[in-house]
């Protein structure tokens, strides 16, 4: 077994039972602060996950270490997005007393989060609602809501944090915001 896989296994052991916050760049801080609140209440660490949708898992080693490949060989957006997420979370949690770390997953967001939650036996997954607007509505139409897909594909509690101002009951959900 390599040193890297041993380090990864030790890190996963330290994160056993951690609350997961699925974060994307430019997301309001409320999602990660709510997740931190629940991690504190449960007395467990917080794992902030970002899913790089520009990469996919090609295979896993017998020890579980994944090997990935980019969908487009010229794209390295995932590393930039992870750095942005880390800075955003650092700023949002600067005054909170919570142990947290970031992990980058790859592939389909709902399946990647589900797989990781099973791996660390997370007691709770925290996600935000989607941004409003035509582009986000169109994306959700084709890919589905990560929150909805998670709620139907795994057994642990899922906290969906509303983002922005709620829309009126009589207003259509999928209009341009």
- CATH number (domain holding residue 156): 3.40.50.620
Distance CA 63, CA 70 (A): 22
Q: Are 38 and 125 within 8 A, CB to CB?
A: no
Considering the domain boundaries, does residue 141 fall inside one?
yes
Considering the domain boundaries, does residue 104 fall inside one?
yes
Considering the domain boundaries, does residue 174 fall inside one?
no
19-50 burial string, b = 16+ CB within 10 Å, else e?
A: bbbbbbeebeeebbbbbbbbbeeeebbbbbbb
Nearest residue to 124 (alpha-carbon basis) of 55, 54, 34: 34
Which backbone phi and psi does 108 adopt, to 5 degrees?
A: -70, 125
Considering the domain boundaries, does residue 56 fall inside one?
yes
Considering the domain boundaries, does residue 9 fall inside one?
no
Q: How many domains does the chain have?
A: 1
Considering the domain boundaries, does residue 1 fall inside one?
no
Residue with tokens 């030790």: 10
Q: Is 131 helix (H, G, I), strand (E, B) or coil?
A: coil
Region 55-64 average pLDDT: 60
Considering the domain boundaries, does residue 131 fall inside one?
yes
The pLDDT of residue 4 is 38
Distance CA 26, CA 91 (A): 12
Considering the domain boundaries, does residue 168 fall inside one?
no
Instruction: Report whether pLDDT(75) > 80.
Output: no
Could you read off the pLDDT of 78-117 as tens digits, one per residue? Answer: 678 888 999 999 999 999 999 999 998 988 889 999 999 9
- Global pTM reads 0.75
Instruction: Report whether pLDDT(177) > 90.
Output: no
Can you give the residue range of the structural domain that contains 79? 15-161
Nearest residue to 38 (alpha-carbon basis) of 46, 30, 50: 46
């Amino acid at each position: 077994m390599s040193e890297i896989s041993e380090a990864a296994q030790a890190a996963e052991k330290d994160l056993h039972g951690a609350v997961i916050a699925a974060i994307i760049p430019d997301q309001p801080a409320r999602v990660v602060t709510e997740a931190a609140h629940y991690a504190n209440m449960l007395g467990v660490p917080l794992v902030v996950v970002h899913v790089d949708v520009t990469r996919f898992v090609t295979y896993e080693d017998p020890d579980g270490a994944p090997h990935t490949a980019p969908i487009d060989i010229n794209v390295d957006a995932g590393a930039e997005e992870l750095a942005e997420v880390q800075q955003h979370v650092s700023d949002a949690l600067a005054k909170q007393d919570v142990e947290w770390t970031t992990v980058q997953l790859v592939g389909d967001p709902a399946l990647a989060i589900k797989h990781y939650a099973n791996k660390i036996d997370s007691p709770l997954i925290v996600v935000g609602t989607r941004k409003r607007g035509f582009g986000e509505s169109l994306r959700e139409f084709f890919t589905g809501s990560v929150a909805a897909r998670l709620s139907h594909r795994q057994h642990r509690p899922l906290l969906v944090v509303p983002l922005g101002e709620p829309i009126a009951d009589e207003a259509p959900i999928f209009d341009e915001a």
